[in-house]
Chains A and B, each alone.
Chain A
Amino acid sequence: MFTKSGMQNKKQNEKFCNRLAFTVLILIAAMVMLPIYWIFRSSLMGSLDIFIWPPKFLPMGTINPSEWNWSNYTIRSANFVFLRNLMNSFAISVPCVIFGTATAISCAYAFARLNFTGKRFLFSLCIGSMLLPTMVTLIPLYMAWTYLGFVDSYWPLILPYLCGGGAFNIFLLRQFIRTIPRDLDEAAKIDGAGYWQILFNIIIPSIRPAIIVISLLIFITTWNDLLQQMIYIHSADKYTLVLGLTAFFGNFKADFAGMFAATVLTFTPGLIIYLVCQRYFIEGIVMTGMKN
């Protein structure tokens, strides 16, 4: 059935497919990068140069022909405000990621694997809460946090992540846990493992890609959550990077180039974390299938 030439044929076929995939991806990637390149290009220009028609593809201004305007970066990255805002952003996102991921795993495990009274009801409540726009509960929550005296602190932004880390994340992890064959934990159960042991020794290693994905999602969501930060954070020394982005729009003028430079600085930490994480969730896991 499997002649040598058949195998070779298959390999060639595979190679061709990979090459085709590569070409298609490069083309789409170029289009995807265009707006990001545009942010970067604009961040190196003077604010007026951004408006020139036809647009300049390279960041060289004609109005302020000061070659590449790196000063948009050097001014901002070296300055105390930027570093302070950076630390503040971390001060919100890091606890959210840690607590959010941990609580989401435990809830997702219960929903995916354990039987208990009221499971369906609770799970529908959980799903229902995903459909709730943040804005709906904004006013009552704002009033409650104010009543508790937590306004102008990070608690209103962090505490919700202690409570299940968001229904989306619970649901995503549950979907992943359900793709793991049940025989694995049944076997462990027969060997006398408790629920915590099953969770730590079988479930968590098997869904590591998903765990890293939700940590990333929580990180990015909390990092970029302009609306809530704007509502809860008042004093300038507690400002975060995204809040800092709003400071480029003045009463009369808007410093678009400065805002774009700050945008690049704002998303860089997220990008670095993504790059570090990516090998874990993409190359990390083959065992689920192997063990089956």
Chain B
Amino acid sequence: MKIKKILALILTAVMLMSIVTACGSSSDYNCKCDVIQLEFSIWGDESERESTQGALDVFNAMQSDIFVSLVQIPNEQYGERLRTLQTANNMPDCGMIDERTAIGWTREGLIKKIDIYEGQPSRPFAGITFSDGGQPIGYSIGSEVLALWFNRDMFDAAGVPYPPTTLDTAWQWDEFIEVAKLLTLDANGNNLNSPNFDATSIVQYGVYVNQWAWQLEVWALSNGGRWYSEDGTRAVFDDAAIEAMQKVYDLHLVHGVAPFNPAQTDDGWWDSVGAGNVAMCTEGQWATGFTMFSDINYGVGVLPYMKQQANITAGGPVGVFADTKHPEAAATFLRWYSDPESNWAPILDGWVMPNTTDWFTEEAKLTRWIDEVPNRARLDARAFRTAVADVALHPGTVPTGWYYTPGTDQIDRVLIPALVEAANGSKTVKEVIESVRPALEAAVSGN
């Protein structure tokens, strides 16, 4: 009976409190009606929210015409959530955009088709400019390219020289496999070339090529193939592209130098080099940010290649949403926010590289974002410059499909589950691609 009474008391108390909470929270805005109020939406975790809020505070303090408030939306449901907000006429004025939906949403009318750098002297470089039919519609706030990350201690222990750090010395694919064999070790420390190698007790793999769907495009380009036509109107997935993807899966299926990697979740770096399971992995420049989470002695090099040097640029864009009443003010804010000088935290943490050419060509600026940033300097600033920074503006580096092709979000949704069957060897890449080809084509040309 006593417990019952206490329980009843607690429940009553909680209920009273909850009613107070539920009813009393009709939040009244502290409306400064003479300023333009903007809502800016981001996805991201707590630390990203804090750093973004920090940037907004600076912006709100430095001028008195525009006041920007932050809307944080959980990462996984960003697109769906924006759609629901829009249905209810609550869409923010501007915000981050899922890069894969940028073109589709612009055509659908969810994003305003305006060039926020219209009439401005400088703008982000071409590799990270979203365009629809040649007209620029959005810009990544930071740039990314892919690179090869490795564990220095594992290379030292195997007596293998570190991966090349300049494009002209990059490994050809077969050389890459040979090195990976030396770094694939069983429980007794034998490598894959040793006659005593025990394939059932592998404790360290040589390589983990990130197979998260969009990153595979780089291998198609490297093998002289294409995923999308250059004008972004068709899904191509030609034989060279298919062959390249098969080569990537064969690292595990045929050569045994890579772990099985279904790529159903986007955690390649963590699962491989990050946790010390694998000697080398491919990942975007943002892996620089990951290095602060452990004491592993990481290094960085250039990607190997199949037939030609290739790399892809990436980066999350911002845009003005269609419902806003203040597109000019939103553009002003977004220009400010996209400028590395005003939004330095993501560059400092290692998550992004700057977005304009001058940061890659002027020595003083290069020093600021590479040598003076601990996360990058730790990787060896020289190597970082040649293996990552120089690659961003190299002619072999082209924009990822989503910069010029609509429907890449649907492509991802088709490819990610479909390619698992190629990864586990139950189908060849050719069979997988042919079985989903109608869906891939519909995703691009249907938009």
Contacts and interface: CB of A to CB of B under 8 A. Distances in A.
B17 A235 contact: no
B81 to A, nearest CB: 7
A77 to B, nearest CB: 15
A236 B18 CA distance: 17
Nearest to A245: B74
A52 B89 contact: no
B276 interface: yes
Contacts of A246: 74-77
Interface string A229-247: 0110011111000010011
Contacts of A168: none
B14 A94 contact: yes
A64 B75 CA distance: 27
A143 B88 contact: yes
Interface in A65-99: 87-88, 90-92, 94-95, 98
Given A63-B275, A251-B75, A252-B351, A153 B25 contact: yes
B7 A276 contact: yes
A267 interface: no
B82 to A, nearest CB: 12
B120 interface: no
Given A49-B275, A87-B21, A158-B22, A247 B46 contact: yes
A154 B286 contact: no
Given A48-B270, A250-B44, A154 B22 contact: yes
Given A48-B270, A249-B76, A251-B75, A276 B21 contact: no
A254 interface: yes
A251 B286 CA distance: 10
A102 B296 CA distance: 58
A45 to B, nearest CB: 11
B158 interface: no
A63 B153 CA distance: 14
B28 to A, nearest CB: 13
Contact of B18 (A53, A94, A248): A94
Contacts of A266: none
B267 A254 contact: yes
Given A52-B276, A247-B45, A276-B3, A230 B90 contact: no
Nearest to A145: B88
Interface in A135-162: 139, 142-143, 146, 151, 153-155, 158
Given A52-B276, A252-B289, A47 B270 contact: yes
Contact of B45 (A142, A153, A248): A248
A46 interface: yes
Interface string B13-45: 011011101100111000000000000001111
B58 interface: no
B18 A251 contact: no
Contacts of B87: 139, 142-143, 146
B316 interface: yes
Contacts of B90: 146, 151, 234
Contacts of B7: 276
A155 to B, nearest CB: 7
A51 B267 contact: yes
Nearest to B204: A53
B72 A236 contact: yes
A98 B19 CA distance: 12
A95 to B, nearest CB: 6
Contacts of B316: 251
Interface string B123-152: 000000000000000000000000000000
A91 B17 contact: yes
Contacts of B351: 251-252
Nearest to B278: A53
B274 interface: yes
A253 interface: yes
B84 interface: yes
Nearest to B295: A63
A153 B77 CA distance: 20
Interface string A156-176: 001000000000000000000
Contact of B275 (A48, A92, A151): A48
A91 B18 CA distance: 4
A51 B76 contact: no
A197 interface: no
B47 interface: yes
B358 interface: no
A245 B316 CA distance: 23
Contacts of B49: 247
Contact of B75 (A151, A234, A250): A250
A234 B90 CA distance: 10
A146 B27 CA distance: 16
Nearest to B289: A252
B71 interface: yes
Contacts of A14: none
Nearest to A276: B7
26 contacts: A46-B293, A52-B276, A53-B277, A63-B294, A64-B294, A87-B17, A90-B14, A91-B17, A94-B15, A98-B11, A142-B87, A146-B88, A153-B22, A230-B74, A230-B81, A231-B81, A246-B75, A249-B45, A250-B75, A251-B42, A251-B316, A251-B351, A252-B289, A253-B45, A253-B289, A254-B45
Given A53-B275, A238-B25, A251-B316, 6 more contacts: A87-B17, A146-B90, A151-B90, A249-B74, A251-B48, A253-B290
> Which 8 pairs across A and B sit closest by C-beta, in order of nearness?
A91-B18, A246-B74, A250-B45, A51-B275, A146-B88, A249-B75, A91-B21, A63-B294
Interface of B: 3, 7, 11, 14-15, 17-19, 21-22, 25-27, 42-49, 71-72, 74-77, 81, 84-85, 87-90, 203, 267, 270-271, 274-277, 286, 289-290, 293-296, 316, 351
